Amino acid sequence: MASIARNVLILAAVLSGAVVCTPAAAQNEQFIPILSYRTGPYAVNGAPYANGVVDYYNLINERDGGINGVKILFEECETAYATDKGVECYERLKSKGPTGAAFINPLSTGITFALTEKTATDKIPIVTMGYGRADSKNGAVFAYNFPLLGTYWSAADIAIQHVAKELGGLDKLKGKKISLLYHDSPYGKEPIPMLQVLAQKYGFEFTPIPVTHPGVEQKSQWLAIRQHRPDYVLVWGWGVMNSTAIKEAAAVAYPRDKMIGVWWSGAEPDVTPAGDQAAGYKALMLQHGAGKFPVHADIEKYIYAKGKGSTEPGKIGEVLYNRGITNAMLGVEAIRKAQEKFGKKPLTGEQIRWGLENLILTDARIKELGFEGMLKPVSISCSDHEGARYGRVQQWDGKGWKVISDWYTADESLIEPLVADVSAKYAAEKKVTPRDCAKET
Amino acid sequence: MIAFGQFLEVLIGGLMSGVLYSLVALGFVLIFKASGVFNYAQGAMVLLAGLALVRALDLLVANGFPLWVAVVLGIGFAAVIMAATAWLIERFVVGPLVNQDALTLFMSTIGVTFVIEGVAEMIFGSDVYPLQLFPTDAWFLFEGLFPGGILVNKLDVWGALIAGILVAGLALFFQRTKTGRALRAVADDHLAAHSVGIPISWIWFVVWLAAGLVALVAATVWGTKLGVQFSITFLALKALPVLIIGGLTSIPGAIVGGLIVGAGEKIAEVYLGPSIGGGIEYWFAYVLALAVLLVRPQGLFGERIIERI
């Protein structure tokens, strides 16, 4: 009954565009829009992520009294993972608060593509942690894009490194067949150029297989996989596509331990609907996995103990919840960094862009923030808007995710030429003059 | 021989998938046949029925009820929910619009769709809820003839059996029962039917209830296949080309239309898809539907429309 009441309240608040934040709208507040999806086919993945973001912002307000005294004012806007609604939300929220939106986090690669030029014009950073445009790692061209912690090109390289490790070395990739089952959208297509580069370098046969949104019907794709018999299937899915892929794989007797999902295909809602059939399925980790760390204790103490939590207490620490709090923490720390230069007051998007570009999180700072064990050091710069490119692999054992690999680091020597090439083409097409990163401070 | 075996596998898989689409299409046909209303909310009704069933089932199992008792009670609870939905729709949407044109009624069902989706998720939750009422593993037939055999999914076979039983039951209901004949009379001309004493409100409640129960049956199969979740509503889009091909008024047409769509889209995706980038099955089903529309606008089994000028 309590969960029904909570669902009703959250949905009513989001659908009415209500502000979920501090009560009095004072001038000493930093406004952060939250583009979320709690309805529609992707709500099952969007909601836990949004819950993490909301809980972390509330934690900063409740525990610390804001960021150096500047309270966080936030508002959710429902996109339903649709690009048009995402753009509409951005336009509606970009000027809110005393200084406008601090940054935007669209949680959709499609919306990211649609907003990239708008946000640069409006001077509002677009933070796409673990998704978005892979070429936007190049901050010289994409001054306002921040694909933090890992792009899809980093993910593709890490996935292939793991396949090679299982096979016994990179040289063993030669002649192997690797298929990519992908969501037929900008998100799903993003890793393809990198996988083509990797296929050429290591000599494996690469086959991309699209799945139409939302991915409820995949019989054709899996019959084709059964006939083609690839050695590995990489899954670049979202929402129902992931669990359906696992079920269809089981139906055609394709081994689940030869499937490796990207980090958006490796959360609890992706495997639990498939029941026992999901056992053995593997997925990349955007550094963190499931589980509780010191920051969760604070969230429980300052938020849930006061009855202000966004979700059921049992869901704190799930993969997507943890991604939400990690994403929120990076944004908060970027604001804190910007305050060092521009003062402890509400800042503009342009000022926070500087904070993002100069953000360095050491092991000591990560520990201080309560994220020790979830995150490795992050160092963002003008030329590197990704800031870190580490990953691990986890495996679903039927009840929970188990980390089965050591840390991988994406091979920059392979990624960088592609980033340089594609971002240069973008700059030429959009008439963007790349910044000289040597002169940026 | 291998290629022929693979083709057979795709063909059988497609036909079976098509039958599952038919399960959803049947709900559309029922309401259109009996009331002339194109019910856009059928996909949402499948979601509502599935959520009611799976949430009741989970609750009962968690409280120590044996599985079979929980299944029976869960289905009963979902049926009550669908009956209540049918009553509300008849009382507050379709009933008051009784003399409006078909387009107005159609638009009202679009409104009903969003209300059902929102309320269903609000009450029962928006997670993915696993449902396991039928086996989901596969048979591998003719392994001696074809390397690896021909894969046939057991869930698809269950779906086909259920669809067959539904069609037979509905045919008997329409042809052999008093209520069924009254439904047909209302469909032909509801004002004339009303003038001879057929209670329109009751008949429309019955037909929406029947569509709700068909939605519940579809939810048991599709819920087992996908887990009960919002994406089930997208099945309405899979049912549309089935209806166009089979005809809006024919129950056997829904089955035949499903078979054509299922087989056509799977063969197109597997054999044509790779050469043009893949991901074609969604729109290819509509290509088939358009082709039928051009040749036979009322669908393969639909009633020919003859109007005096």
CA distance B264 to B280: 11
Tell me if the domain spanning A153-285 has CATH number 3.40.50.2300: yes
Q: What pLDDT does B305 receive?
A: 66
Contact list, A45 vs chain B (CB under 8 Å): none
CB-based contact B14 A219, cutoff 8 Å: yes
Contact list, B226 vs chain A (CB under 8 Å): 216, 240, 243-244, 247, 273
- Using alpha carbons, select from A241, A178, A182, A179 the residue that is nearest to residue A215: A241
Chain segment B75-111, per-residue pLDDT in tens: 999 999 999 999 999 999 988 887 788 889 899 999 9
Angle among Cα A308, A310, A315 to the nearest 5 degrees reads 120
CB-based contact A252 B231, cutoff 8 Å: no
- A4, A14, A220: best to mutate for the B interface, most B CBs within 10 A: A220
- A216, A244, A265, A268: best to mutate for the B interface, most B CBs within 10 A: A216
- Establish if B84 belongs to a structural domain: yes
Q: What pLDDT does B309 receive?
A: 64
- Establish if B262 belongs to a structural domain: no
Looking at chain B, the whole-number percentage of residues with pLDDT higher than 90 is 48
- Evaluate if residue B209 carries a pLDDT over 80: yes
The answer to whether B157 faces chain A, any CB pair under 8 Å, is no
- Establish if B209 belongs to a structural domain: yes
What angle, 0 to 180 degrees and rounded to 10, lies between the N-to-C axes of helices B154-176 and B251-267? 160
Confidence of residue B34 (pLDDT cuts 50, 70, 90): confident
Residue B101 distance to chain A (closest CA, Å): 31
pLDDT average, residue stretch B202-229? 91
The encoded tokens of residue A170 equal 């990179």
Contact list, B236 vs chain A (CB under 8 Å): none
Residue B149 distance to chain A (closest CA, Å): 11
Residues 182..221 of A with a Cβ closer than 8 Å to B: which? 184, 208-212, 214-217, 219-221
As beta bridge partners, residue A192 has: none
Q: What pLDDT does A441 receive?
A: 63
CB-based contact A247 B225, cutoff 8 Å: yes
Residue B24 distance to chain A (closest CA, Å): 14
Contact list, B129 vs chain A (CB under 8 Å): 273
CA distance B309 to B305: 13
- Evaluate if residue B289 carries a pLDDT over 70: yes
- Using alpha carbons, select from B10, B286, B276, B264 the residue that is nearest to residue A210: B276
How far does CA B281 lie from the centroid of its chain? 19
Q: What pLDDT does A19 receive?
A: 41
What angle, 0 to 180 degrees and rounded to 10, lies between the N-to-C axes of helices B67-89 and B200-226? 140
- Establish if B226 belongs to a structural domain: yes
Chain segment B254-284, per-residue pLDDT in tens: 999 999 999 999 999 999 988 888 888 888 9
B-chain residue closest to A269, CA distance: B128
Determine contact, residues A231/A177, Cβ cutoff 8 Å.
yes
Q: What pLDDT does A48 receive?
A: 95
Determine contact, residues A108/A79, Cβ cutoff 8 Å.
yes
How far does CA A425 lie from the centroid of its chain? 25
pLDDT average, residue stretch B202-219? 92
The encoded tokens of residue A359 equal 């953000």
- Establish if B247 belongs to a structural domain: no
Q: What pLDDT does B48 receive?
A: 96
Residues 6..45 of B with a Cβ closer than 8 Å to A: which? 6, 9-10, 13-14, 17
pLDDT average, residue stretch B28-49? 89
Chain segment A126-163, per-residue pLDDT in tens: 999 999 999 999 999 999 999 999 999 999 999 999 99
Listed in sequence order, the residues at least 6 apart from B117 whose beta carbon sits closer than 8 Å to its beta carbon are A39, B44, B47, B230, B233
CA distance B154 to A53: 42
The encoded tokens of residue A218 equal 């995949």
CA distance A236 to B233: 23
Q: What's at B182, amino acid-wise? A: A
Determine contact, residues A65/A24, Cβ cutoff 8 Å.
no
The answer to whether B136 faces chain A, any CB pair under 8 Å, is yes
What is the CATH architecture assignment of A27-150+290-389+419-430? 3-Layer(aba) Sandwich (3.40)
Q: What pLDDT does A396 receive?
A: 97
pTM of the model: 0.89
Long-range contacts of B106-110 (CB under 8 A, 24+ apart): B106/B37, B106/B38, B106/B40, B109/B37, B109/B38, B109/B39, B109/B40, B109/B41, B110/B40, B110/B41
- Using alpha carbons, select from A106, A80, A98 the residue that is nearest to residue A30: A98
- Using alpha carbons, select from A261, A117, A259, A249 the residue that is nearest to residue A188: A261
CA distance B195 to B197: 5
Name the CA dihedral angle for A332, A336, A338, A340, rounded to a multiple of 10 degrees.
180
Query: Length of chain A in residues, anyone?
Result: 441
Angle among Cα B175, B40, B54 to the nearest 5 degrees reads 85
Nearest CB among B10, B122, B132 relative to A275 is that of: B132
Residue B228 distance to chain A (closest CA, Å): 9
Residue A248 distance to chain B (closest CA, Å): 9
Domains A27-150+290-389+419-430 and A153-285 share a fold: yes
Location of structure tokens 């579809």: B218
Looking at chain B, the whole-number percentage of residues with pLDDT higher than 70 is 97
Residue contacts between A and B (CB atoms, under 8 Å) = 127
- Using alpha carbons, select from A144, A99, A90 the residue that is nearest to residue A117: A144
CA distance A58 to A309: 9
Location of structure tokens 């030329």: A383
- Establish if B291 belongs to a structural domain: no
CA distance A267 to A319: 5
Chain-wide mean pLDDT for chain A? 93
B-chain residue closest to A185, CA distance: B279
Residue B188 distance to chain A (closest CA, Å): 36
Contact list, B17 vs chain A (CB under 8 Å): 217, 219
As beta bridge partners, residue A235 has: A181, A261
Listed in sequence order, the residues at least 6 apart from B140 whose beta carbon sits closer than 8 Å to its beta carbon are B148, B149, B150, B151, B152
Q: First vs last Cα of chain B: how many Å apart?
A: 58
Chain segment A38-80, per-residue pLDDT in tens: 888 898 899 999 999 999 999 999 999 999 999 999 999 999 9
- Using alpha carbons, select from A359, A327, A332, A338 the residue that is nearest to residue A150: A327
Q: What's at A153, amino acid-wise? A: W
Where in chain A are the domains?
A: 27-150+290-389+419-430, 153-285
Separation in Å, CA A274 to CA A46, A202, A222, B221: 19, 33, 16, 14
Determine contact, residues B21/B159, Cβ cutoff 8 Å.
no
- Domain of residue B14: give its range: 1-233
Total tally of structural domains belonging to chain B: 1
Q: How many other CB atoms are found less than 10 A from the CB of residue A436?
A: 9
Location of structure tokens 């048979």: B139
DSSP-assigned states of every residue in chain B:
-HHHHHHHHHHHHHHHHHHHHHHHHHHHHHHHHHHS---TTHHHHHHHHHHHHHHHHHHHHHTT--HHHHHHHHHHHHHHHHHHHHHHHIIIIIGGGTTS-HHHHHHHHHHHHHHHHHHHHHHH-SS-B---SS---EEEE-TTTSTT-EEEEHHHHHHHHHHHHHHHHHHHHHHHSHHHHHHHHHHH-HHHHHHTT--HHHHHHHHHHHHHHHHHHHHHHHHHHH-BSGGGGGHHHHHHHHHHHH-TT-HHHHHHHHHHHHHHHHHIIIIIGGGGTS--HHHHHHHHHHHHHHH-TT-SSSPP-----
Separation in Å, CA A435 to CA A112, A117, A133, A139, A140: 21, 16, 18, 8, 5
Separation in Å, CA A364 to CA A129, A180, A296: 22, 38, 18
CA distance B46 to B24: 8
CB-based contact A220 B273, cutoff 8 Å: yes
Nearest CB among A11, A43, A212 relative to B279 is that of: A212
Chain segment A230-259, per-residue pLDDT in tens: 999 999 999 999 999 999 999 899 999 999
pLDDT in tens, chain A (441 residues): 445 445 544 544 444 444 444 434 457 999 999 999 988 889 889 999 999 999 999 999 999 999 999 999 999 999 999 999 999 999 999 999 999 999 999 999 999 999 999 999 999 999 999 999 999 999 999 999 999 999 999 999 999 999 999 999 999 999 999 999 999 999 999 999 999 999 999 999 999 999 998 898 899 999 999 989 999 999 999 999 999 999 999 989 999 999 999 999 999 999 998 889 999 999 999 999 999 999 999 999 999 999 999 999 999 999 999 999 999 999 999 999 999 999 999 999 999 999 999 999 999 999 999 999 999 999 999 999 999 999 999 999 999 999 999 999 999 999 999 999 999 999 999 999 999 998 876
